[in-house]
Amino acid sequence: MNEFHPRTEEEAASIISDHTARGAALAIIGGNTRSGFGNAVASDAVLSSRGLAGIVAYNPGEMVMTARAGTPVAEIEAALAESGQMMAFEPMDHRPLMATEGEPTIGGVFAANVSGPRRFVSGAARDSLLGVRFVNGRGEIVKAGGRVMKNVTGLDLVKLMAGSHGTLGLLTEVTFRVPPRPKTEETIVLSGLNDAEAANAMAAAMALPLEVSGAAHLPLTVAWSFLDGKLPQGEATVLRIEGLPGSVAVRGEKLAAAMGRLGSVKRLEEDDSCRLWREIRNVKPYADGTSRPVWRVSVAPGTGHQLVAALRLEEGVDAYYDWQGGLVWMRMEAEPEGDMLRRYIHALGGGHATLMRAAPAHRAMTAAFQPQPEAVALLSARVKEKFDPAGIFNPGKMA
C-alpha cells in the first residue's frame, strides 16, 4: 500500500487532485493511533498529516495556539505546560485501549473530536477549535475561522471538520483556545455506592456551588485497577476540584463534608488525583490487550446506570461512568451486540453508541457509529458530496 507524507499543503493538494482524477480512494490518517476504530476503510493508499508538523503561532497572553495538523500532541502539551496552559477538553490517548503505536497528532484529536473527563463542564474539542486549514476533495486549500478569514459560506466549516474523521478533507492546520491550567487539584473519593446511588450523588455534587470539574463512578469490577489498587476497597465515586490551592482546599473540605453524609470519604492529593483522571480518560480497565468489544456510549447522565442494568440481564457486560454518568465505557464479553445496545438506548430516551474496539469479524458486521435519522443522513451525504465529490476520502469510515 502506498503511503504519502506531504510536507506542504501544496504537495498534499497535488496528491489529492491526482487521486480524485483517477477515482482512487485515500485513507486519511494522523498518527494512526486509532487504527481499528470505526468502520473499515477500503483504500489502496494512505495520506498522513505527520509531515505537516510544527507550532505556527503561540502567544500565551492571547490564550490561542496555531499548529500544523501533524504536530505531536506531546509537543503541544509540553509547550502549553511551560506557560501554565492546557487543552481544556483533556484528549485521551487511544493507544492503550486500541493496542496501537505511533504518536497522537493534534489534527487527529480534532478530526475525531476527542474529549476527556472535563468535557461535561468545559465542552468538547470542537468547542475549543477556532480555525482550520484543510484540503478538500477537489484539491483546494480551504481556510476558515480563527485568524485567517471570516466564514461566509453558510456552513460552519470549523465545526464540520471537527469530528469528521477524515471524510471531508485533510486537516493541515488548526487554531484553538488554550486556557490557564489549574494550579492544583484534588479528588474526593466516595466509597460503597451502587450505580444508581452514585448517579444521585454525582448529581448532588454538581448542584453545589463548588465547581466540580470531574465526576465519575467506578464500580467494583473496575475500581481495583486504578492507581495500582490504591483506591479504597469497593465501588468508588470520584469528584474532582481544581483551581488555586486555597480555593481547592476550602471547596474540597465542603465537598467532602457534603458527600460524607452518603458514605465513607477519602481525599486524593494532586499527584494521585492527576494520575487517576488520566487513567479514567485513557480507559485503563479495558486496555487489556484483547479485542473484546468496547463501546463508548453517550446518554443522559441519569440513564447510564439504567442502560447497564438492563444489558446485564441479557449480556455479559462490564462498565464504568464518566461525565456525571453521561458517558459509559462498556466492554462486552463476547460479541458487540450493537442492535440490542442501541435498542435499549432508544428505549431510555436516546443517545449515541460508538464501537471503539472489536475483532475484525465483529467490526465487519456492526455499524461503528450511531445510525443517523434519515433527514440527517441525507444532509450528511450532501455535505460529503460538496467537500469530496469523488468520494475518495476514507470511504466507508462513517457509513
**Rounded Cα distance, 197 and 262, in Å:** 9
- Grid coordinates given for 235: 465501588
φ, ψ for residue 328 (rounded to 5)? -115, 115
- Dihedrals φ, ψ of 72, to 5°? -60, 140
Strand 294-298 to 64-68 pairing: unpaired
Q: What is the pLDDT of residue 44?
A: 79
CATH fold of the domain at 184-281: Alpha-Beta Plaits (3.30.70)
The cell numbers describing 43, all together, are 483504500
Q: Tell me the residue ranges of DSSP E strands in 30-154.
A: 45-48, 55-59, 64-68, 129-135, 141-145
Q: Report residue 307 as a C-alpha cell.
A: 442502560
User: Whole-angstrom distance between the N-terminal and C-terminal Cα of the chain?
Assistant: 23
pLDDT in tens, the chain (399 residues): 789 999 999 999 999 999 999 999 999 999 999 887 877 677 779 999 999 999 999 999 999 999 999 999 999 999 999 999 999 999 999 999 999 999 999 999 999 999 999 999 999 999 999 999 999 999 999 998 754 434 444 468 899 999 999 999 999 999 999 999 999 999 999 999 999 999 999 999 999 999 999 999 999 999 999 999 999 999 999 999 999 999 999 999 999 999 999 999 999 999 999 999 999 999 999 999 999 999 999 999 999 999 999 998 877 899 999 999 999 999 999 899 999 999 999 999 999 999 999 998 998 899 999 888 899 889 889 999 999 999 999 766 655
| SS3 assignment, position 28 | strand
Q: Residues 251-274, buried b or exposed e (16+ Cβ, 10 A)?
A: bbeebbebbeebbebebbebebbb
Q: What is the pTM of this model?
A: 0.93
Residue matched to cell numbers 464501537: 355
Q: Which H or E run contains 234?
A: none
Residue 44 CA to residue 142 CA, distance in Å, equals 25
Give the helix, strand, coil percentages of the chain, each rounded to 5. 35, 25, 40
What's the CATH fold of domain 2-177?
3.30.465
Integer angstrom CA distances of residue 258 from 190, 202, 243: 11, 11, 19
Boundaries of every domain in the chain: 2-177, 184-281, 284-365
Kind plus residue range of the DSSP H or E element containing 283: none
Q: Which residues contact 326 (CB under 8 A, 6 or more apart)?
A: 120, 298, 299, 300, 301, 304
Cell of 63: 490564550
Distance (Å, whole) CA 21 – CA 19? 5
- Report, in angstroms and rounded to the nearest whole number, the Rg of the chain calculated over CA atoms: 21
Alpha helices (H) in the chain, listed in sequence order = 9-22, 73-82, 95-98, 106-111, 119-122, 125-128, 157-161, 195-207, 220-223, 245-259, 270-281, 304-312, 338-347, 360-365, 374-387
Fold: same for 2-177 and 184-281 = no
* pLDDT of res. 398: 59
CA distance 266 to 118: 21
Could you give the CA distance from residue 280 to residue 22 in angstroms, rounded to a whole number?
A: 45
DSSP type of residue 116:
-
Please report, for residues 58, 201, 348, 369, 382, the alpha-carbon distance to residue 376 in angstroms, rounded to integers and kept in the order given.
Answer: 37, 36, 21, 14, 10
CATH T-level fold of 284-365: Alpha-Beta Plaits (3.30.70)
Short-list 238, 250, 260, CA closest to 209: 250
